[in-house]
Amino acid sequence: MWQFTETLGEGAYGEVVLAKNVNTNEFAAVKVIDINRLKGNDVVIRKEIDLHKLFRHENIIRFYGYKQQHSNYYLFLEYAAGGELFDKIEPDVGMPEYLAQHYFKQVVAGMAYLHSLGVAHRDLKPENLLIANNNALKICDFGLATLFRSQTTKEERKLTTYCGTAPYSSPEVWAKTPYRGEPVDVWSCGIILTAMLTGELPWDQPSYQNPEYKRWLDRDYYHNPWKKIDNMILNLLRRILVHDPAQRARVIDIQSHKWMSKIYSQDGTETDHQLLKRMAVKYDEPCWSLTQPNQSTTSTVISPSISDDSMVNCISQPIKLDDLILITEPRSLTEMGDQDPSEHL
């Protein structure tokens, strides 16, 4: 038997509540979606369920099952007690470099896993990254995720749904041109890393009309947020935040960058050996840093449509939706596997 104990958050289509198993004292996060708010777009939720059930990775929030009852969908998910990464970023300050590296490695690992399945998240941001008790980072909220590559034919399609959160969106999405799935997620990771290190976002939107973005394109790195960031990391960001998606760093390029293997001492500083070595190396990028927008800016979402997602079934839909409906309530989460915890609410 599961009982709802408290509200964890609210969204456009409903809320997320904490559910407790009264027999085992285990917890799950339940995403409660009001079908009436979907205004006929319930295919979006069905696709989110269809995709999320496929994922098995330590940096992806685990999907346990779902139930449709009356006018609600109930999605049972892994509970991450540490909350959002967003809440760990101090405005105008960020977080220690070693901690940013710890989280960033996990964001990239989770993103790489999604891309290996042909899935683009399309809304990566600190609010959609959760922290578990063991300080493990978990990617969540797959409401805008889509398939861009067939697992059978390996055929890749360009996407035409222009969605996401404006400060984290890539230039090609903002310009409303057909785009590839992988580079848009890579771009968002670069913005997330900047926010973690500085507590700021670099621009409201990546357009030529935006003065902060124009400075970036002109290689003017002597203003906030860029001047707050160490040269080694700026070198990495210069490879990620590239206007042309064809020239943008790939996941393998990010994972092999020097900073990703940098070792910090127990107090979070780099080791003496590394410091001496770094002082002897001339990096090709000068210093810079970033800026936290106000709440209205961070919550700005590019209006999504579902036009390009009508192709999903013919490209790489692996199994029927009906096969994903789970019907047996487990005694505990450890026994859950592919069973449904939602039979008794």
Which residues are annotated binding-site positions for ATP? Answer: 31
- What CA–CA distances, in Å, run from 192 to 123, 195, 217, 268, 330? 11, 5, 19, 20, 37
Catalytic-residue membership of 123: yes
Residue where the block lists tokens 């139930």: 67
Give the angle subtended at the CA of 122 by the CAs of 120 and 128, to the nearest 5°.
110
Task: Answer yes or no: are the C-beta atoms of 155 and 115 closer than 8 Å.
Answer: no
Residue where the block lists tokens 């990028």: 285
Kindly tell me the burial class for residue 223, based on how many C-beta atoms sit within 10 Å of its own C-beta (0-12, 13-18, 19 or more): middle
Catalytically annotated residue among 123, 185, 230, 309: 123
Task: Answer yes or no: are the C-beta atoms of 300 and 167 closer than 8 Å.
Answer: yes
Q: What is the DSSP string of 100-159?
A: HHHHHHHHHHHHHHHHHTTEE-S--SGGGEEE-TTS-EEE---TT-EE-B-TTT--B--B
Kindly tell me the burial class for residue 233, based on how many C-beta atoms sit within 10 Å of its own C-beta (0-12, 13-18, 19 or more): buried
Annotated binding-site positions: 31
Pairing of strands 164-165, 129-131: unpaired
**Residues carrying an active site annotation:** 123
